[in-house]
């Protein structure tokens, strides 16, 4: 497909690279010559210098023939107008990044009037992710599938954990009362693994499991993980993510305190969400945090614009014994480092944005929209994808026992949702038309359910 990306910042550049890997023809528009030169040096993409709202610039970039236009500049207004102009020129589908809470309140109207087909709000998506993490303080991340019926969660095995030393094939024979979940992926050191039955769980493994919500909750209780949620949260920074997150937490009757250095920003936040307590001060000031009783809070979330400040404040909260610490970072290569420091819950705006847009692109790019990816998440620094499909009558994976399917060695059918019921499949199970199927794959290349078949994609 011909994809036009307007905005060559972190998100635009990363997205362009991923789309090129998936075989799409990508053109990037930006006013910064330096940013475009970087993309031309590192990506197989065309680059056009200019304003993404300018019709002549968009014509030069090929907007009239574009299958998808993705506007991800730093300006909501430019993104909206760029989509409108591109659609008027003939672009088939338009995706806009719109972040301001004021625009969020009138999105249906804006989308209709400005011809925007899909809106991505990275800050709100990240706030939703953090709110899910706070439900289970021991986990690093929670992703949902099948309209919320299935959750994919991760945890780190400690030296004394009961699961360590058991192979997945024999685990339930040794522990028959353990609620049955699917072990989807394992990160061991720097290696990402799609686990088979002979994999022996080891201390320090980062393990990903999936099942329906009641079963996965019972599983974690059975292995001694604390599944009680938080009742009080302190947020560092009063930006857009903090606004969306605080709004969600307050609706859940969770006490919210926000620390913000900028007096004007703090005042605006306090007026927008008067139920939240706002403290004017430096969130990296250890004396301030200690004086405000950080050690009495259930969770601390660092949301400043500087990774280093977020990490240092997070480490201090961890040292004080705060039960759950969530750190926002803009650098993917920090994830492993933070995990080694005990900060397992690191979240990234760029990754959340990229995953959401990629899912929309894959849906549009499928030859048959019904065969497209329903949901897509990247885990373990993007090395493994978790994807959801709806099985169709034409799919070749239907009918045969799973043990007889010639699956790619790096693919795993993790969960089946049928008639609203969640099943952890065995080798004797079969897929049926209409099933929601969640698969794990290492190495990408899966756009349709049949793509998990080895050598038959």
Asked if the structure places residue 55 within a domain, the reply is: yes
For residues 391-401, average pLDDT: 91
Asked if the structure places residue 173 within a domain, the reply is: no
Task: Evaluate if residue 450 carries a pLDDT over 70.
Answer: yes
Segments of 292-451 assigned E as strands = 299-302, 324-328, 345-347, 375-379, 384-390, 411-418, 421-423, 436-442
For residues 78-99, average pLDDT: 94
Asked if the structure places residue 357 within a domain, the reply is: no
Residue 164: Cβ within 10 Å count: 15
Number of Cα atoms under 13 Å in the Cβ half of residue 417:
20
pLDDT interval class at 457 (50, 70, 90) = very low
Q: Of 4-18, 87-101, 162-176, 347-361, which range is least confident?
A: 347-361
Cβ(71)–Cβ(83) below 8 Å: yes
**What are the Cα distances from residue 101, in Å, to 7, 107, 360?**
21, 10, 22
Task: Evaluate if residue 367 carries a pLDDT over 50.
Answer: no
* Residue environment code for 393-405, b if the CB has 16+ CB neighbours within 10 A, otherwise e: eebebbeeebeeb
Asked if the structure places residue 184 within a domain, the reply is: no
| CATH code at position 115 | 3.40.50.720
Measure the CA dihedral 128/129/134/139, to 10°: 160
pLDDT interval class at 429 (50, 70, 90) = very high
Average pLDDT, the chain: 87
Asked if the structure places residue 255 within a domain, the reply is: yes
- For 381, the token pair is 């620094």
Task: Evaluate if residue 352 carries a pLDDT over 90.
Answer: no
Asked if the structure places residue 251 within a domain, the reply is: yes
Q: What local confidence, expressed as pLDDT, does residue 122 receive? A: 84
d(CA 398, CA 133): 35
d(CA 259, CA 233): 11
Q: What local confidence, expressed as pLDDT, does residue 372 receive? A: 67
Q: What local confidence, expressed as pLDDT, does residue 227 receive? A: 60
Tell me what percent of the residues of the chain surpass a pLDDT of 90.
48
Regarding whether 387 and 291 lie in a shared domain, the answer is no
Q: Using CA of residue 35, residue 40, residue 41, residue 45, what is the dihedral sign?
A: positive
Task: Evaluate if residue 439 carries a pLDDT over 70.
Answer: yes
Name the helix (H) or strand (E) containing 269.
helix 263-272
pTM greater than 0.85 (yes/no): no
Count up the domains in the chain and report the number.
Answer: 3
Name the helix (H) or strand (E) containing 88.
helix 76-89
Cα angle value 77/78/83 (rounded, 5°): 105
36 lies in which domain range? Answer: 2-120
d(CA 275, CA 144): 29
Pairing of strands 68-71, 2-6: parallel
Regarding whether 317 and 374 lie in a shared domain, the answer is no
Q: What local confidence, expressed as pLDDT, does residue 228 receive? A: 65
Task: Evaluate if residue 101 carries a pLDDT over 90.
Answer: no
Regarding whether 313 and 371 lie in a shared domain, the answer is no
Q: Using CA of residue 249, residue 250, residue 254, residue 257, what is the dihedral sign?
A: positive
Regarding whether 317 and 418 lie in a shared domain, the answer is no
pLDDT interval class at 338 (50, 70, 90) = low
Q: What local confidence, expressed as pLDDT, does residue 443 receive? A: 81
Asked if the structure places residue 347 within a domain, the reply is: no
Q: Which among 120, 148, 182 is the end of a domain?
A: 120
Measure the CA dihedral 103/107/110/111, to 10°: 140
Asked if the structure places residue 457 within a domain, the reply is: no
Task: Evaluate if residue 448 carries a pLDDT over 60.
Answer: yes
For residues 335-360, average pLDDT: 70
Q: What local confidence, expressed as pLDDT, does residue 335 receive? A: 58
């Amino acid at each position: 497909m011909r994809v036009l990306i307007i905005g060559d910042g972190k998100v635009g550049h990363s997205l362009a690279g991923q789309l090129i890997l998936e075989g799409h023809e990508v053109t990037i528009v930006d006013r910064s010559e330096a940013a475009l030169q970087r993309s031309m040096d590192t990506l197989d993409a065309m680059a056009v210098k200019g304003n993404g709202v300018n019709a002549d610039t968009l014509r030069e970039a090929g907007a009239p023939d574009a299958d998808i236009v993705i506007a991800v500049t730093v300006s909501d207004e430019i993104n909206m107008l760029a989509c409108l102009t591109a659609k008027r020129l003939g672009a088939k589908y338009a995706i806009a990044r719109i972040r301001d809470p004021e625009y969020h309140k009138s999105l249906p109207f804006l989308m209709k009037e400005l011809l925007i087909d899909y809106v991505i709000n990275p800050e709100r998506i990240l706030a939703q992710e953090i709110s899910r993490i706070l439900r289970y303080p021991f986990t690093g991340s929670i992703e949902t599938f099948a309209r919320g019926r299935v959750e994919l969660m991760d945890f780190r095995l400690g030296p004394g954990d009961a699961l360590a030393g058991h192979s997945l094939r024999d685990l339930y024979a040794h522990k028959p009362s353990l609620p049955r979940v699917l072990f989807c992926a394992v990160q061991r050191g720097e290696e990402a693994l799609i686990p088979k039955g002979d994999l022996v769980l080891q201390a320090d493994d980062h393990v990903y499991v999936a099942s329906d919500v009641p079963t996965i909750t019972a599983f974690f209780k059975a292995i001694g993980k604390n599944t009680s949620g938080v009742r009080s949260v302190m947020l560092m920074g009063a930006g857009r993510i903090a606004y969306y997150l605080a709004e969600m937490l307050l609706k859940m009757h969770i006490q919210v305190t926000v620390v913000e250095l900028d007096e004007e920003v703090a005042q605006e936040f306090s007026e927008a969400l008067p139920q939240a307590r706002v403290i004017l001060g430096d969130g990296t000031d250890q004396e301030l945090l200690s004086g405000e009783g950080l050690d009495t809070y259930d969770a601390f979330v660092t949301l400043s614009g500087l990774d280093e400040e977020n990490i240092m404040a997070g480490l201090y909260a961890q040292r004080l014994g705060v039960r759950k610490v969530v750190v926002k970072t803009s650098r993917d290569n920090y994830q492993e480092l933070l995990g080694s420091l005990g900060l397992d819950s690191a979240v990234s705006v760029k990754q959340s944005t990229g995953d959401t847009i990629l899912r929309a692109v894959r849906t549009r790019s499928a030859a048959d929209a019904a065969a497209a990816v329903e949901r897509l998440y990247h885990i373990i620094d993007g090395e493994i994808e978790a994807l959801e499909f709806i099985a169709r009558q034409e799919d070749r994976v239907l009918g045969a026992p799973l043990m007889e399917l010639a699956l790619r060695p790096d693919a795993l059918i993790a969960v089946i949702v049928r008639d609203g019921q969640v099943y952890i499949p065995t080798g004797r199970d079969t897929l049926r038309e209409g099933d929601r199927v969640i698969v794990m794959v290492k190495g990408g290349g899966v756009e349709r359910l049949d793509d998990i078949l080895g050598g038959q994609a």
